Amino acid sequence: MKAQNLDDNNPMGRLKVFYDSFVNRQSAPAPEKNFSNQSKLDNRIIDLLEISDADYILVNDNDEVVVCSEIVSNIGLVRNQQITSETLRKLVRAARKQHEVIEDEVAIPRGSLNSGFHERRVRLNQLGKDGSVAILIFDDSEAQRLDAVRRDFVANISHELKTPIGGISILAEAISEGSDDPDLVKNFSARMKIEAERLAHLVQEIIDLSRIQDQNTMLNSQVFSLNEMIKEAIYQSKIYAEKGKVNINFSPEIEVTFFGDRKQILIAISNLIENAINYSSEQTNVTVLLKQNENIAEISISDQGIGIEEQELERIFERFYRVDPARSRETGGTGLGLSIVKHVVSNHGGDIQVWSVPGTGSTFTVQLPLTEVKDVQ
């Protein structure tokens, strides 16, 4: 249990100062709020609590709940004007005794039909001299979830970076030991170059994902031609296609202009095309279609590759998830490409759908909402 000294910069301290000035002033009392126990409470205190970033409970000197936020009632923390948590009741009594701000964690049962608890951070302090106590309740579950995602992401990055770095280290050692053998040096040098490129690709995709997650799409939005952007994405993937002996066909049905972040959309479509190439066999086709369906632009990338099992479809947009790890190692795939695509599409208010049959191929369809534009800049 943590105690804090009050000061004017602390939210609880400001609330206490305001309450003290209210209950001790000599002017006529403010209109009474219509609460069930008819306790007299300044409406402005409630207004102050309502705009805070926390749920709240106010109790009187008899531990009766004077007022509370709706969520507090919904999660069962208050029932029949009483606080249901014995832990929280003890903290209320401690706040009266210590005359300091108290912070602690409280586990609240989820309900009679569910096991487990809601974890909530609480902050309490006595207000005025009449024994009333204010309780602020903070839901940190989303912050904790994001922190867990961040830790998991860092762990995955560490694991992914370890492989190419370790490979480069081993190859460098082998070259050092076999420096008098030109064929061995040439072979290991080529493999070292592949590992270095893989490492560079991974780092670049981590940078892209970080920028896309943090970037405000509207700051870099412009009107541009989806047709020309797709042609550029195909051109960027030409080397991969030639190496894999895969043909890329682009068949636009109409000229489509779009308002958005061109660089982000280019990265997303390039990732989808490269992904289609990487999972295709030699002498097969990757087909890119562009069409407009009312106010929606649809970009479809289809391949004749290995396809995706149904149980894998829900996970393919997860970071570092690979349908075929062995093929990813061969092609230098990082497992971040589809995650980047999903973030880009989401940033633009769009959607991405997947159709796939194992042994037949896959089709990824990006849907982007169109706004009315007059010309392409």
Q: What is the pLDDT of residue 213?
A: 65
- Across the beta sheet with 361-369, the strand order is 246-252, 284-293, 296-302, 361-369, 351-357
Judge whether 26 and 35 are in contact, CB under 8 Å: no
Selection from 367, 377, 108 nearest residue 228 by Cα: 377
Every domain of the chain and the residues it spans: 2-139, 149-214, 218-377
Tens digits of pLDDT across the chain (377 residues): 554 444 545 555 555 554 554 444 433 333 333 344 434 456 777 777 777 778 888 898 888 998 888 877 777 788 888 988 888 899 999 998 888 888 888 887 665 444 567 678 889 888 878 888 988 888 776 666 666 666 666 666 665 666 667 777 887 888 877 777 888 888 878 888 877 877 776 777 677 776 776 656 666 788 999 999 999 999 988 888 888 899 999 988 789 999 988 988 998 999 899 889 988 888 899 999 999 988 899 999 999 888 888 877 777 777 666 555 544 445 445 567 788 888 888 888 899 999 988 888 999 999 999 876 554 44
Q: What is the pLDDT of residue 33?
A: 37
Question: What's the predicted TM-score (pTM) here?
Answer: 0.51
CA 30 to chain CA mean position, Å: 45
Q: What is the pLDDT of residue 28?
A: 36
Q: Which residues contact 266 (CB under 8 A, 6 or more apart)?
A: 229, 232, 233
Q: Which residues contact 273 (CB under 8 A, 6 or more apart)?
A: 233, 234, 237, 248, 286, 288, 301
Q: What is the pLDDT of residue 41?
A: 54
Q: What is the pLDDT of residue 25?
A: 41
Angle between helices 262-278 and 182-214 (to 10 degrees): 140
Q: What is the pLDDT of residue 168?
A: 79
Q: What is the pLDDT of residue 331?
A: 46
Interatomic CA distance for residues 204 and 248, integer angstroms: 25
The DSSP string of 44-90 is: HHHHHHHTSSSEEEEE-TTS-EEEE-HHHHHTTSEETTEE--HHHHH
Tokens of 52: 């805070």
CATH tag, 218-377: 3.30.565.10
Query: What DSSP element (H or E) covers 368?
Result: strand 361-369
In the chain, which ranges are continuous DSSP H helix? 11-24, 43-50, 70-74, 86-98, 141-177, 182-214, 226-236, 238-243, 262-278, 325-331, 337-347
Query: What DSSP element (H or E) covers 132?
Result: strand 132-138
Tokens of 345: 């599409």
Selection from 350, 366, 249 nearest residue 300 by Cα: 366
Identical topology for domains 2-139 and 149-214: no
Q: What is the pLDDT of residue 15?
A: 56
Handedness of CA 66, 71, 72, 76 (dihedral sign): positive
Given CATH 3.40.50.450, say whether it is the number of domain 2-139. no
Pairing state of beta strands 82-83 and 78-79? antiparallel
CATH architecture of 149-214: Orthogonal Bundle (1.10)
Tokens of 40: 């007299």
